[in-house]
């Protein structure tokens, strides 16, 4: 099969990318699940679309808006189709029960495979291996899609947004949530979710605590929780046994990048995703990436915007591949910045470039700045009352100023009094 643009993944990133590309070129959309929408069909809480639609929608409502448009767009959609391989010449191999093995020759490719959850093995959780230990996404799918209740007395490990939302979900379905345990000294999720999912339901949040053992033979009977020190090592003598029949692991998401590695795309060790420029193009010309496969986003609206950017530029590449790539400016993470996306700026063809970043630690009354690493010239400087690791910060930098940069720009965060 030949196409101008092939999109891998039919979540919000892939849907937005496919729609944007389909305005000018032919598009094939490949999704391994039976339904389009990615993770959203199982996220039945409100909290989606606040920025794009200026109203709070549920995940299925938000996804359906884009699915309806895809169905009317002429995009060639293949569900139950898993992409197995991708080469750097933009040839994909996919498999589906209806069509068997397919080879797809695309002029440009958009990677939108989302994330997967970290499991018990990845956090080396000791103890027995009884039934009753779930990742948060699996528990969410069981309750919201399959209509099955995983258990009645629940401990949640991890206070990222997924853990917080599941604490409320279990409570609303009649379970008792014994507590949310978080190894870090501050919550991992958005403040609005701490308030709306825990405080409003009197669910206790135990910071600087973790689960140190799992007990039970056939079914989970209890977990041991311990306080941890500043290096996150369990403190002997602080162990408490918490009886429960369900342990929900909400311990992080990992961008799903096997295909990116196969295509020898440069990866960013801090985000776990591909290095991209402001067009969402990776280090391999003609292969673009967007959404959670690039870095874990807080809100879906940003994913949709990134998908649109990838889609427009992938279509442009498919119509007319550029002869040469402009020299990149590297965007580096400075003081109290964990990572910045995009990691390179190459085109500077819009009035502004938006840089997304996360901080390493919470700080109050700060100045976020974008500077020329060589000359110290300041391109952007903005005050923020507070920055927190779970909350992505975005900065819009005028590109006219960046045109004189020789090598790198640096994003850093400093206390107001030191800025």
Which residue lies nearer to ligand FAD by CB, 84 or 367? 84
Dihedral-angle region of residue 74 (phi above 0 means left; psi in -120 to 50 means alpha; beta otherwise): left
Q: How many CB atoms lie within 10 A of CB 354?
A: 16
Shortest Cβ 384–ligand FAD spacing (Å): 21
Contact between 76 and ligand FAD per CB under 6 A: no
Which residue lies nearer to ligand FAD by CB, 222 or 253? 253
Shortest Cβ 261–ligand FAD spacing (Å): 12
Give the interface segment with ligand FAD, choosing from 175-183, 203-211, 286-294, 354-362 (CB under 6 A). 286-294
3-class secondary-structure state, position 20: helix
Residues 96-135 that bind ligand FAD (CB under 6 A): 112-115
CA 8, CA 94: separation in Å to the nearest integer? 10
Single out the residue of 3, 140, 171, 343 in contact with ligand FAD (rule: CB under 6 A).
140
Single out the residue of 5, 7, 8, 194 in contact with ligand FAD (rule: CB under 6 A).
8
Contact between 255 and ligand FAD per CB under 6 A: no
Single out the residue of 107, 168, 297, 358 in contact with ligand FAD (rule: CB under 6 A).
297
CA 353, CA 177: separation in Å to the nearest integer? 43
Give the interface segment with ligand FAD, choosing from 33-41, 225-233, 280-288, 350-358 (CB under 6 A). 33-41
CA 275, CA 264: separation in Å to the nearest integer? 11
Single out the residue of 18, 20, 47, 187 in contact with ligand FAD (rule: CB under 6 A).
47
Shortest Cβ 271–ligand FAD spacing (Å): 13
Q: DSSP alpha helices (H): ranges in 38-100? A: 59-71
Contact between 44 and ligand FAD per CB under 6 A: no
Letters for 201-230 (x = contact with ligand FAD by CB under 6 A, - = none) are ------------------------------
Single out the residue of 139, 198, 265, 303 in contact with ligand FAD (rule: CB under 6 A).
303
Contact between 14 and ligand FAD per CB under 6 A: yes
Whether a cis peptide bond, with omega within 30° of 0, leads into 342 is yes
Give the interface segment with ligand FAD, choosing from 31-39, 278-286, 382-390, 401-409 (CB under 6 A). 31-39
C-alpha angle with apex 282: 353 to 318, nearest 5 degrees?
Answer: 95
> How many residues sit close enough to ligand FAD to count as binding (CB under 6 A)?
37
DSSP string, 91-158: EEEEEETTTEEEEEEEEEEEE---EEE--TGGGT--B---B-EEEHHHHHHIIIII-----SEEEEE-
The closest of 38, 17, 37 to 28, measured between CA atoms, is 17
- What residues have CB less than 8 Å from 156, skipping those under 6 apart? 136, 163, 166, 167, 170, 177, 179, 180, 181, 247, 248, 250
CA 158, CA 197: separation in Å to the nearest integer? 13
Shortest Cβ 368–ligand FAD spacing (Å): 22
Contact 143, 149 (CB under 8 A): yes
Contact 181, 155 (CB under 8 A): yes
Which residue lies nearer to ligand FAD by CB, 39 or 341? 39
Single out the residue of 162, 175, 249, 369 in contact with ligand FAD (rule: CB under 6 A).
162
Contact between 197 and ligand FAD per CB under 6 A: no
Contact between 43 and ligand FAD per CB under 6 A: yes
Shortest Cβ 288–ligand FAD spacing (Å): 13
The size of the chain, in residues, is: 419
Contact between 363 and ligand FAD per CB under 6 A: no
Shortest Cβ 263–ligand FAD spacing (Å): 12
Which residue lies nearer to ligand FAD by CB, 82 or 207? 82
**Host H or E run for residue 311:** helix 300-319
Contact between 292 and ligand FAD per CB under 6 A: yes
The closest of 63, 77, 69, 75 to 12, measured between CA atoms, is 63
Residue reference for tokens 């209890």 = 222
Contact between 163 and ligand FAD per CB under 6 A: no
Which residue lies nearer to ligand FAD by CB, 258 or 361? 258
CA 280, CA 288: separation in Å to the nearest integer? 5
Contact between 276 and ligand FAD per CB under 6 A: no
Contact 281, 146 (CB under 8 A): no
Site residues (CB under 6 A) for ligand FAD? 8-14, 30-33, 38-40, 43, 45, 47-48, 82-83, 112-115, 137, 140, 161-162, 165, 256, 291-293, 297, 299-300, 303
């Amino acid at each position: 099969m030949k196409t101008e643009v092939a999109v891998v993944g039919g979540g919000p990133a892939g849907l937005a990318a496919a729609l944007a590309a389909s305005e000018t070129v032919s598009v094939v959309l490949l999704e391994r699940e039976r339904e389009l929408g990615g993770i959203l069909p199982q996220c039945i809480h409100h909290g989606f679309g606040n920025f794009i639609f200026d109203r709070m929608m549920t995940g299925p409502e938000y996804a359906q808006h884009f699915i309806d448009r895809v169905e009317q767009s002429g995009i060639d959609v293949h569900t139950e189709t898993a992409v197995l391989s991708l080469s750097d010449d933009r040839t994909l191999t996919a498999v589906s029960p209806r069509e068997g093995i397919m080879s797809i020759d695309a002029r440009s490719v958009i990677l939108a495979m989302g994330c997967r959850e970290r499991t018990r093995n990845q956090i080396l959780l000791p103890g027995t291996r009884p039934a009753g230990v779930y990742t948060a996404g699996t528990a969410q799918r069981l309750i919201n899609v399959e209509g099955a209740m995983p258990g009645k007395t629940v401990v949640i490990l991890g206070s990222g947004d997924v853990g917080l939302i599941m604490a409320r979900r279990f409570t609303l379905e009649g379970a008792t949530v014994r507590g949310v345990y978080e190894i870090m000294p501050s919550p991992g999720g958005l403040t609005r979710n701490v308030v709306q999912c825990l405080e409003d339901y009197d669910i206790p949040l135990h910071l600087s605590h973790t689960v140190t053992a799992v007990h039970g033979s056939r079914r989970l009977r209890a977990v041991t929780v311990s306080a941890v020190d500043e290096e996150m090592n369990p403190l002997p003598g602080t162990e408490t046994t918490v009886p429960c029949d369900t342990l929900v692991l909400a311990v992080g998401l990992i961008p799903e990048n096997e295909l990116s590695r196969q295509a020898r795309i440069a990866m960013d060790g801090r985000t776990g995703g591909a290095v991209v420029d402001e067009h969402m193009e990776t280090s391999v010309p003609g292969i673009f990436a967007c959404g959670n496969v690039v870095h874990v986003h807080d809100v879906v609206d940003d994913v949709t915007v990134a998908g649109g950017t990838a889609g427009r530029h992938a279509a442009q590449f498919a119509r007319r591949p550029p002869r040469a790539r402009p020299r990149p400016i590297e965007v580096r993470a400075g003081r109290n910045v964990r990572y910045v996306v995009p990691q390179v700026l190459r085109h500077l063809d819009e009035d502004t470039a938006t840089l997304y970043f996360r901080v390493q630690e919470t700080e109050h009354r700060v100045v976020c700045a974008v500077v020329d690493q060589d000359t110290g010239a300041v391109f952007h400087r903005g005050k923020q009352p507070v920055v927190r690791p779970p909350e992505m910060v975005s900065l819009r930098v005028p590109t006219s100023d960046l045109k004189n940069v020789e090598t790198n720009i640096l994003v850093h965060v400093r206390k107001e009094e030191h800025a």
